[in-house]
Structures are given as C-alpha cells and as structure tokens.
Structure 1
Amino acid sequence: MGAPISAPKEDQLVDDIEAIKQVKYRYLRTLDTKAWDEFESTLADDVTGDYGDSLSFTTRDQLVDFMKSSLGPAIITEHRVDHPEIVVDGDEATGRWYLQDRVIVADFNFMLFGAAFYNDRYRRTAEGWKISATGYDRTYEATVSLEDMPSFKVKPGAALNL
C-alpha cells in the first residue's frame, strides 16, 4: 500500500481561503471604481463568465471589454458580496458568494438593484489566485425610475477612476 494521502496543512488552507477572498474583493472594487487593468489582473487568461440567461463570455478580453464599454463614466455600480463558501482542492477552488448590487444611470433616471449568488472557480497561478470562471444566478432584480424619487441626487465620489 502506498503512503496515505494527507490533507493540506491547516495554515495553508486558511491562507488560500484568505487569498481567494482578497481576489474576489479586488474584482468587485476594481469593477466599481473602473480600474480596468487591475480588474483584468484578477482574471485567469482563460476565464469564462456567465451572468444570467443572455450574458456570457468565453475569453478574458470579451469579459473585460464588455465591462469597460457597458459601465462607462456615467454609470455608477455597487457590488457587495458576503457569506463566502470556499472549498480548496489543491491548486483549484470553488466559491459561492451572496451578492447585493446596485446600478445607477442618472442620465436616464434609472436604478437597478438586486441580489444573486455568485458561483466562481479559482486557480492558483504564479501570480497568486485568479478567477477562472465567474457568474451568478439572480434571486431578484428590481428597477425604479429616478423620476419617481424627485429628491434623489447622485454625486460620484473621488474613488472612481474617471
């Protein structure tokens, strides 16, 4: 009989989970601040994306280009995730996150908000953990006309890379 397979050291597992959390948080921060080069750096070269029924990507360039072109300076986004469920298996991992998001397009008096569950895959690379697949399944999505809220005002903050 061969040697028994040993579980990864607890410290390494904790470090891996923390690194995966950090890459997910960086993905969201750079998406919301439109820091596109840093956003791209969170993604594996062969990343795939699936954001519902009609929005999927098979390359990193497709995903990044879509975000850049769709979320321009006039669009304010807020993405928050919590309740991570991360499972590490060697140099691969999966993660499930609860998402709450908001999109404000003041020029069109439009706001969307909703919730979803992200389902991600991660891969350890020479540069650290990267997202190799991402996407979510919505639990709900709601929209409102900002004309219905005459006192609503938006002032973008300095953190946006505009």
Structure 2
Amino acid sequence: MSLEEIEQIKQLKHRYCRFLDTANAAGLETVLTEDIEIDYLGGTYHFKAQGRDEVIAILKAAFHEDFVGSHTVNQPEITILSADSAEGRWTLTDYAVDLRTGYETSGACLYRDRYAKVDGEWRIARSSYRRLYERVTKLDVLPNFTARYLAERATNPEI
C-alpha cells in the first residue's frame, strides 16, 4: 500500500466534490472514467447512470445557476487493490437549496467508490452512496444568500 497513491485518491475525491459544487463539467471529465457508473440513493431520489457523458449531463441539470450547495467528504478509508485498482469509503455531509423549487436538503451519506488508474492518473470508475439521513424542507421563504457561486458563474464564466 502506497501512501502517495492513497493521497492521490483523496485529492481526486476532493476535486470531484469541488467540480460538483462549482458545476465544472470540464473538470468532472478529468476525474471520471469513460465508463463511470453512479448509483446515488437518497430518501427522495435515485440517480443511476452509466458513462461519463450521461453522468455529467445529469449533474449539469442538477447543479444550475439557481442551485446552492456544498459537499464535504471526510473519514476516507482507501484500499489499494492492485497497481491500477482501488476502492474507497467516505462519509459525505451535504447541504443544498434549489431556488427554483424552494426545497432545502441536508444530510449525510456513506459513499462507496471504485477507482481505476488510467494513463497514470487515478479516476473514479464507480461511485455509489446510501443516505445515513436526509432532511428535505419546503421553504416558505427563500434564504437571502448574499453570495451564490453558480449564479455568478452564469454571468461570468471566468470565475
């Protein structure tokens, strides 16, 4: 087991979360294998997709300019299986508000991932999670966010 390989996988997962929260489709392409599979099961949804293009299309639709969210992963348990294969478990804490629908979601998940080394770089090959808990609230009054990255990025793609 190489600590350098484990650190590379940790950074890969953190980049995935950052690209997700910033709706960076080009960045997501760099961290996913072409044949990526996702299976995300929440209390109010089930996202299941295969193939990088399909996965990115689903994520782009969910993370739009009227979306506010943050995904934080921690407690990594990474196992290197071979020179080009690894698996990981993570705990996710997330918060999201969809200003189009007025729903606020918060909760925690247990991620299970598979990683593949492609052209010398670790990529996410399979990602799934199940909710530990999920709280969804229909907001009577939308929050007054004084900063919203995705809304700002919609008018200024350079940020």
- Give TM-score, length-normalised by structure 2: 0.86
Distance 1:100 1:69 in 2: 21
Amino acid in the other structure paired with 2:144: K
Equivalent runs, 1:141-152 vs 2, <5 Å: 141-147=134-140, 152=143
CA contact (8 A) 1:76 1:156 kept: no
Q: Cα–Cα, structure 1 residues 158 and 102, in superposed 2: closer, same or farther, change >3 Å?
A: closer
Retained in 2: the 8 A contact 1:104–1:112? yes
What is residue 60 of structure 1 aligned with on the other side? 52
More strand by share: 2
The 1-side partners of 2:100 and 2:145 are apart by 10
Matched to 2:130, the amino acid is D
C-alpha contact 1:50 1:56 (8 A) present in aligned 2: yes
Provide the aligned C-alpha RMSD in A: 1.8
Structure 1's consecutive aligned runs of 4 or more residues displaced over 6 angstroms after TM superposition are none
The amino acid across from 2:123 in the alignment is K
SS at match of 1:154: coil
Which has the larger Rg?
Answer: 1
Are 2:31 and 2:124, in contact at CA under 8 Å, matched by a contact in 1? yes
* Cα pair distance change 1:158/1:101, threshold 3 Å: closer
| 1:3 paired residue number | none
Question: What is the TM-score normalised by the length of structure 1?
Answer: 0.84
Separation in 1, partners of 2:131, 2:17: 17
What percent of counterpart residues are identical?
30
Q: In the TM superposition, what whole-angstrom CA distance separates every residue of 1:29-52 from its partner, at most 9, and x where no partner exists?
A: 010011110012110111100001
Q: 2:108 aligns with which of 109, 115, 119?
A: 115
Q: Which runs of 5+ in 2 are unaligned?
A: 155-159
